Copies of this chain bind each other. A is one copy, B any other.
Amino acid sequence: VSQYIAVDIGGTHLRAAGFHAGDLHPVRIARKPTQAPTIDPNPQPPFERLIDLIASIWPADEPVTVISVAAPGPVNPFTGVLMKATNIPGWVDMPLQQKLEKHFGVPVLLGNDANLAALGEWKFGAGRGTMHMVYLTISTGIGSGVIVDGCMLVGARGLAAEIGHITVVPDGEVCNCGYRGHLEAYASGTAIARWVEMEIANGKPSSLAGGKPISAKAVSNAALAGDPLSIAALERAGKYMGHALADILHIFNPSALVIGGGVSQSGPLLFEPMRKALQERVFNPHYLDDLVLLPAAFGDDAGLIGAFALGAHQFPPAA
């Protein structure tokens, strides 16, 4: 039996795993920090660290069908070039596919991590059985992926499905990307924490006051414990999510919305305002008729399982 090697290039950690077709339990799995420790006298660059990690799980007695890689940034899946990696300085227009193919001598596939997480949820997770699925992962930023008619949406250059960067407030708050008014600037963990800090600085009472810096996780916990400012913060984020998702329903008419990422753990305090805003904004009730809202099945493994899904999809096992 042949193995599929899946790789997730995270901003902090690299992970690699070997899978057998149809089995989500990896044969072998390994991880290491993306960057060498700063005290290392001979720091290995990230690409060499990646090569070593993949080699460390390479099967001794089975062939490898494909290496598929989830990359943290925009990827052109047609050329195999990673345009820019979040948190890895120097990885700009990096021909990752070509370099890995040359080194390992097997086919290599490359995808954006959120796009692949969507594919993984569709093929193995919460979105199984749907044909039109929208996936969002809400953490520091907002990543997304879309399945249209059973295919992963990538666009002409692999830059499609950037739902975190659609505008919800024209000329509004500054987004992590530097532009203004994007969903990510209103509903990401970063945005939620920043809004609470700002309101506290403006004198609003909160159980979080005085404890700067505030995390989205702390806001979520405080909200669950009844802190009114934290509840208002999740309400605000949920409302903007609903506004963006109304546009997304008008554009894709999906039958499933799958939502993951740390911030989605806040539950109804986030999702009820989202649902309400969505219902108010959708211009035809049929959009909601068959729509299901589902929590993502995979947490930190989303990128790795998504990469496996890509490999298995493009190189299905022989019947």
Contact with B along A138-161 (1 / 0, CB 8 A): 000000001011010111111111
Copies in the complex: 2
CB of A254 within 8 Å of the partner chain = yes
Q: A165-B283, A179-B281 are in contact. Are A253 and B159 (CB under 8 A)?
A: yes
CA gap between A316 and B32 in the complex, in Å: 53
Instruction: Kindly identify which residue among B151, B155, B255 contacts A253, using a CB–CB cutoff of 8 Å.
Output: B155
CB of A276 within 8 Å of the partner chain = no
CA gap between A253 and B287 in the complex, in Å: 24
Stretch at the interface among A103-111, A120-128, A194-202, A244-252: A244-252
CB of A23 within 8 Å of the partner chain = no
CB of A131 within 8 Å of the partner chain = yes
Contacting pair A156 B253 (CB below 8 A): yes
Contact with B along A280-315 (1 / 0, CB 8 A): 010110110111000000000000000000000000
Q: A264 to nearest B CB, angstroms?
A: 21
Query: Which residues from chain B contact A246 at a C-beta distance below 8 Å?
Result: 167
Task: Sample 17 A-B pairs with CB under 8 A, ordered by A number.
Answer: A148-B148, A148-B151, A151-B151, A154-B253, A156-B255, A156-B291, A157-B287, A159-B287, A162-B250, A162-B283, A163-B250, A165-B250, A166-B247, A166-B250, A167-B246, A167-B281, A168-B170
Task: For chain A, residues 81 to 114, give those with C-beta under 8 angstroms from any C-beta of chain B.
Answer: 83
CB of A132 within 8 Å of the partner chain = yes
CA gap between A148 and B291 in the complex, in Å: 21
CA gap between A165 and B247 in the complex, in Å: 7
CB of A177 within 8 Å of the partner chain = yes
Contacting pair B157 A286 (CB below 8 A): yes
Query: Which residues from chain B contact A157 at a C-beta distance below 8 Å?
Result: 253, 286-287, 289-290
CA gap between A243 and B168 in the complex, in Å: 11
Number of interface residues of A (CB under 8 A): 49
Contacting pair B252 A74 (CB below 8 A): no
CA gap between A156 and B155 in the complex, in Å: 20
CA gap between A179 and B132 in the complex, in Å: 25
Query: Which A residues fall within an 8 A CB radius of B?
Result: 74, 83, 130-132, 146, 148-149, 151, 153-163, 165-170, 175, 177-179, 182, 243, 246-247, 249-255, 281, 283-284, 286-287, 289-291
Q: A71 to nearest B CB, angstroms?
A: 15
Query: Which residues from chain B contact A289 at a C-beta distance below 8 Å?
Result: 157
Known: A160-B251, A162-B283. 5 other contacts (CB 8 A): A149-B153, A155-B253, A162-B251, A163-B250, A167-B246
Query: Which residues from chain B contact A243 at a C-beta distance below 8 Å?
Result: 167, 170
Query: Which residues from chain B contact A153 at a C-beta distance below 8 Å?
Result: 148-149, 252
Nearest-neighbor residue (CB-CB) of A74 within chain B: B284
Contacting pair B253 A283 (CB below 8 A): no
